[in-house]
């Protein structure tokens, strides 16, 4: 997973995550305006990753979460090099996004023709409602190292209509282990989001025991005896530090402490057979010249939940780190992600301490 635009101050941008799934290309969560330039540079420099994007999901219609879509589609069309076998990129989000996708298609075709490049056929993107998007990005190839196995979204508490969070399940085919990545979008602390992502993790545990998704209540009970092979990671917005809690309430965002507390509650609600990797904070307000105030330590988080009772990753704590520009986390196998999170959490704490001096 690759992050862009999470940083505060003049060096930061808008939030976005590129989740690389191997089987059918990456899935883009939240294409913010200035997040797309670094994503485009990184993906273009590496391989045909942009041409291989499996899909883009937009959480809500505030500009900092979707206006980068035009740049992303442009980078992808250019990376395709005039190929006519490149399918339209599945894009999903609020209904109001649909007409924008059509406008972007027309702009990109016109720009490429003006540059003397072949016009992309079919068009660069197609808008899909949430009911059709999961099928477009779910890939079950056993030959691929990692595959998307499930995707879901749910409404969250933000200052506009049609605001959503989402969850994606990735399966590592070599070990049959799974990682559940929950992404909050922009929101106040949201119990329904936490419950939906916990249910998705429970389904992943059941699928690990039974080998398939669906109504697997018996498998869920049997999963208790299975060695934990499902890990959960939360990506949560942390727009404000805890000193600006009133602003967070007024603007329907979360504070650093609220995001950490959300992760602690989700960790405590893990079903048997799952482990908690940690919480990745993002979407810091541009008002901060440096990292916002450090999050609570695992000991402080114990005021929300008994940290010692949470089945955590080998790092031994409720790891928290900042999703700044260029952060890369290996998502498979889960042990590699846990190690990277533990290292990143230590670096975040050190950076916060240095900024406070």
The pLDDT tens digits of the residues spanning 77-133 come to 877 765 666 788 999 999 999 999 999 999 998 988 887 877 777 888 999 998 899
Torsion of CA 121, 125, 126, 127, to 10 degrees: -160
Task: Note the pLDDT of residue 153.
Answer: 95
Instruction: Tell me which residue of 163, 162, 169, 165 sits closest to 137, measured CA to CA.
Output: 169
Residue 98: both structure tokens together = 């649909």
Distance CA 48, CA 79 (A): 7
pLDDT at 156: 97
Which residues, 6 or more positions from 33, have their beta carbon under 8 angstroms from its beta carbon? 13, 14, 63, 64, 67, 68, 71
Structure confidence at residue 241 (pLDDT): 87
Q: 3-state class of 294 per DSSP?
A: coil
Q: What pTM did the predictor assign?
A: 0.81
Reduced to 3 states (helix: H, G, I; strand: E, B; else coil), residue 152 is: strand
Return the pLDDT at 216: 37
Q: Please, what is the angle between helix 69-80 and helix 97-114, to 10°?
A: 40
pLDDT (0 to 100) of residue 154? 96
Residue located via tokens 């979707």 = 66
Residues of the chain with pLDDT under 70: 1-16, 20-27, 30-49, 51, 81-85, 139-145, 174-175, 211-228, 289-318, 324-326, 332-334, 345-357
Q: So what's the pLDDT on residue 284?
A: 85
Output the pLDDT for position 224: 38
pLDDT of residue 76: 83
Q: What is the pLDDT of residues 280-311, one digit of tens each?
A: 888 888 777 666 655 554 334 433 344 445 55
Residues forming a β-bridge with 152: 167
pLDDT of residue 352: 63
- H runs (alpha helix) in 120-233: 133-137, 191-210, 217-222
Which pLDDT value is given to residue 305?
A: 41
Per-residue model confidence (pLDDT) at position 213: 52
Cα dihedral 24→280→15→205 (10° resolution): 30
- The answer for residues whose C-beta is within 8 angstroms of residue 273's C-beta and 6 or more apart is 205, 208, 209, 223, 224, 226, 228, 229, 230
């Amino acid at each position: 997973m690759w992050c862009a635009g999470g940083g505060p101050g003049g060096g930061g941008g808008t939030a976005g995550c590129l989740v690389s799934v191997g089987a059918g290309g990456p899935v883009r969560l939240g294409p913010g305006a200035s997040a797309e330039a670094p994503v485009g540079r990184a993906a273009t420099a590496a391989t045909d990753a942009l041409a291989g994007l499996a899909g883009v999901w937009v959480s809500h219609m505030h500009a900092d979460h979707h206006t980068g879509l035009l740049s992303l589609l442009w980078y992808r069309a250019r990376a395709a090099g005039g190929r006519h076998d490149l399918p339209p990129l599945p894009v999903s989000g609020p209904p109001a996004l649909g007409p924008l996708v059509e406008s972007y298609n027309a702009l990109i075709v016109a720009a490429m023709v003006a540059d003397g490049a072949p016009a992309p056929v079919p068009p660069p993107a197609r808008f899909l409602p949430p009911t059709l998007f999961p099928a477009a990005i779910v890939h079950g190839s056993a030959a691929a190292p990692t595959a998307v196995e499930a995707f879901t979204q749910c409404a969250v508490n933000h200052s506009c209509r049609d605001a959503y969070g989402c969850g994606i399940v990735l399966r590592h085919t070599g070990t049959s282990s799974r990682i559940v990545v929950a992404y909050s979008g922009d929101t106040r602390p949201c119990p329904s989001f936490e419950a939906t992502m916990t249910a998705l993790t429970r389904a992943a545990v059941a699928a690990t025991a039974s080998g398939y998704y669906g109504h697997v209540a018996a498998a869920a009970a049997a999963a208790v005896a299975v060695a934990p092979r499902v890990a959960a990671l939360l990506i949560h917005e942390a727009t404000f530090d805890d000193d600006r809690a009133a602003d967070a309430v007024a603007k329907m965002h979360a504070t650093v402490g609220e995001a950490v507390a959300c992760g602690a509650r989700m960790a405590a609600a893990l079903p048997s057979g799952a482990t908690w990797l940690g919480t990745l904070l993002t979407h810091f307000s541009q008002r901060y010249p440096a990292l916002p105030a450090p999050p609570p330590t695992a000991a402080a988080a114990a005021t929300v939940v008994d940290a010692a009772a949470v089945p955590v990753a080998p790092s031994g704590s409720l790891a928290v780190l900042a999703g700044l520009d260029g952060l890369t986390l290996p998502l498979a196998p889960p042990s590699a992600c846990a190690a990277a999170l533990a290292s990143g959490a230590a670096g975040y704490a050190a950076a916060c301490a240095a900024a406070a001096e």
